[in-house]
Chain A
């Protein structure tokens, strides 16, 4: 079994996991099961990142999505009153709008994919050779950090402002909820 075969096996495994997880979020009746299914889906995405040698992103995917966002969602579920019953009533009233929206999304994604020029499509190297060489020797956490601070320092600071806004918004909103 060659490494390429192994990558293929991993890829199809993660793809199946991601699709099943995403389906589960929608289909499962029990909302906590939906959460668990979403965690499976997020793990599959982390697996994709690992296959793409983006280890840092894989770790961040798990730390932030599973460790923070899913916990937030579970807390949110337990904040809502009626939702915790075993089977929430699921209606298919929105089946037509749902189909239209998802078809539109599918078509958009499809066109984005076929119109994107991937690395292989470029005849000149996509990034300088030294970076390609360095990225094999160094961990990509370091390269991400270097580009963040050296090249994209303004977006980096703007990201911190965005996070500040998110924090303020979250605290204010949550406190209003508590007052109700």
Chain B
């Protein structure tokens, strides 16, 4: 139902190819993280899975091409968390989360009590019930990120796409946001595809990593297979040490040249 398979995906913006012959499979309930230097095409792959960009090749969800879904049908399957979600000033947290119910409503439909209840319960589950009537522009960076996750969850889609979920957060908030996503993934069997810059965090939370360079996948595998000193040195032009941590993956540490 919520497995993803991508074959020979090519994306070009005004003639410039940003993703070229991209292939990857993500099983239901798995977390795949796309890593790679700036401009590698990570965000474009996420946008293709949500059918937000025109592409060549094939992107299937549960065996059906995303281009064959109706817009609302697809939105009930795939929820996307943008890197910097638009948060209209003055809109309350509850109202923002309520918009996540849109895929379940008709074109001119109104939210039912059930929709309002889902908003309340989702906010409570993430411990944000107290923020319900707070305007979005009064939130801290960490709160905004969690509110955006609540909105995506209210969509009740089995596939969650996340673009740089931790880019503007401090190290503690980064951890708590990723723990939260991981917990929700196992509780609700969500399939997660994320684009991440932080290689250590990407390796600690994702089941598999896909390393992208200039629109191509150069390697797909477990964090142990992908996060190696030679690979990072080659593709990021970075000098790093990869340190094994006892039982919690590996850390990628930059070394001053």
A binds B: no
Q: Which residues of B contact A (CB under 8 A)?
A: none
Q: Which residues of A contact B (CB under 8 A)?
A: none
